[in-house]
Structure 1
Amino acid sequence: MFKVYDDQDSGNICFGTEKDGQRYFIKFAGAPTERYNGNPADAIARRKATLPVYSELQHENLIEYVIFDMGRMWGSSLFQSPEEYEVGAVIDEITNVYTVGATAFALFGEYNRNRDRWQLSDKLFEVVAKAVSADRNGRQQSIRQLREEWETAICMES
């Protein structure tokens, strides 16, 4: 990740990622961000409502807009935290930390959480491995903390 936009008031959390020299912009609707106090379902509905407009504006300089609306997305179990399988469990920002960590493993570890498949530094591996800890208390406690640890690990490499 080269950028995390987690202080949005839209209910969307966004990530700038890069792999093999190609940059990607990932946007999750309905995430509890720093400044969003609304209903996650409203954020999702607003994101879906932009699809027709975005399609009308299609241009080679615009990023591709893909929407997943299949209930539980194929492969989503790879991104779900242990608490998402527990009825009545707390689902919150710490849950989203897990999802971001799992996404990083998908992008930079070939969907594998072993160090030998990880394409970035050992320090970044440690940050992401912490994010996908089965123990909620062992994870970063916010997206902001995850981002800060990620940025610190990058600075240590320089």
Structure 2
Amino acid sequence: MKNIQQTSLITMTINKVDFQLQEEHNFDWLKQLGSVFCVFDQQDSGNISFGVEKDNQRYFVKYAGAKPIEFNGNPKEAIKRLKEAVPVYQMLEHPNLIRLLNHFPTENGYALFFQWAEGECLHSHWTFGGPAKYTNPKSPFYRFKKLELEKRLKALDAIFSFHTYIESKNYVAVDFYDGSILYDFNNDETTICDIDFYRKSPSINDIGENFWGANRSKSPEEYKIGSPIDSITNVFNFGAIAFGLLGGEMDRSFSMWAANQGLYQVALRAVEDERSKRYSTVNDFYDAWKSV
């Protein structure tokens, strides 16, 4: 089916930057925002994103309303989801989060306008898909895993401190995975770039096994409809992220772990299948992590 779809793709060009969609779409509204220098057109969420530059300032534009090549849903649903993300970015504004500057409707969709955050996505599947993510020396994930331990621990600290903050605001992270992390290799700074699906806590799994998230960092309850999605769920997510950035990802053996035994035990408790065995809050998990 995908091959049939691929043959009917159309290529569009804005400011000499090419990208593909399933059908034509009007992007004239982009001109007022600046000159496009890059496009992210392979997301399955229904969004397409642009890097734009104006007056020597860079910005990031996330847009719903078109039909990106990896999207098989209804653009109206994508528009609805993107609109619902606006108050989430506003409520959870934080130094470690990409900053929302503006949002507005267009003729056929909706756009979120962010300050540009320097960095490379640790799950850049559009450039380093499949095994290349782990084996290509140019892959951001590969390069991150080669960083000295202190720099990787600093990145995790940025992730954990932000999520302790959102917990204090009674929010729960949904669809947080390594694709939500931007790492600036020049300045060793970490930015969280995608919180579109974060929800008020507590919440429940209203989708089932296809609940938002990556299999490598999802908790057992994120596969089961009606299960709670809360701080205990997030504890698992961040334990799994720690294994991804410091260890063997799905292989959670100590031999694959780059840090000390104490941090390993904290991460291991976080990813217990049984919810009652995990830390009860992200704050408790982060406190245990810092104490080691």
- Cα distance in structure 1, aligned partners of 2:96 and 2:276: 24
The residue matched to 1:119 in structure 2 has which SS? coil
Question: CA 1:81/1:13 → structure 2, altered by over 3 Å: closer, same or farther?
Answer: farther
Is the Cα–Cα contact under 8 Å of residues 108 and 118 in structure 1 kept in the other structure? Answer: yes
- Cα distance in structure 2, aligned partners of 1:133 and 1:102: 10
Question: CA 1:13/1:36 → structure 2, altered by over 3 Å: closer, same or farther?
Answer: farther
- Cα distance in structure 1, aligned partners of 2:172 and 2:274: 27
Q: Percent identity?
A: 27
Q: What TM-score does the superposition give when structure 2 sets the normalisation length? A: 0.34
- Cα distance in structure 2, aligned partners of 1:96 and 1:115: 22
The counterpart of 1:100, out of the listed 208, 228, 238, is 238
Question: CA 1:30/1:119 → structure 2, altered by over 3 Å: closer, same or farther?
Answer: closer
Q: What is the match of residue 84 of structure 1? A: 222
Give CA deviations for 1:39-91 in whole Å, capped at 9, x if unaligned: 979xxxxxxxxxxxxxxxxxx7695767468x955xx1010000010110001
Is the Cα–Cα contact under 8 Å of residues 151 and 188 in structure 2 kept in the other structure? Answer: no
Is the Cα–Cα contact under 8 Å of residues 11 and 33 in structure 1 kept in the other structure? Answer: no
Is the Cα–Cα contact under 8 Å of residues 235 and 281 in structure 2 kept in the other structure? Answer: yes
- Cα distance in structure 2, aligned partners of 1:39 and 1:104: 18
The residue matched to 2:167 in structure 1 has which SS? coil
The residue matched to 2:252 in structure 1 has which SS? coil
Question: CA 1:85/1:109 → structure 2, altered by over 3 Å: closer, same or farther?
Answer: same
Give CA deviations for 1:119-141 in whole Å, capped at 9, x if unaligned: 11111100000000000000000
Q: What is the match of residue 35 of structure 1? A: 168
- Which protein has the larger Cα radius of gyration, Structure 1 or Structure 2? 2
The counterpart of 1:113, out of the listed 245, 249, 252, is 252
Higher RCO structure, 1 or 2 (CA under 8 Å, sep 6+):
1
Amino acid at match of 1:128: A
- Cα distance in structure 2, aligned partners of 1:140 and 1:110: 22
- Cα distance in structure 1, aligned partners of 2:172 and 2:285: 24
Is the Cα–Cα contact under 8 Å of residues 12 and 31 in structure 1 kept in the other structure? Answer: no
Q: What TM-score does the superposition give when structure 1 sets the normalisation length? A: 0.60
**Greater fraction strand:** 2
- Cα distance in structure 1, aligned partners of 2:227 and 2:273: 14
The counterpart of 1:136, out of the listed 262, 266, 275, is 275
**Greater fraction helix:** 1
Q: CA RMSD in A?
A: 3.9
Q: What is the match of residue 10 of structure 1? A: 92
> Is 1:145 matched up with 2:284?
yes
The residue matched to 1:110 in structure 2 has which SS? coil
- Cα distance in structure 1, aligned partners of 2:273 and 2:216: 13
Amino acid at match of 1:10: L
The residue matched to 2:229 in structure 1 has which SS? coil
The total of aligned residue pairs comes to 122
The residue matched to 2:215 in structure 1 has which SS? helix
Shift of 1:33: 2.4
The residue matched to 1:88 in structure 2 has which SS? coil
Regions of 4+ moved over 6 Å: 29-32, 38-41
Following superposition of structure 1 onto structure 2, how do residues 59-74 of structure 1 map, counting pairs within 5 Å? 63=189, 67=193, 72=212
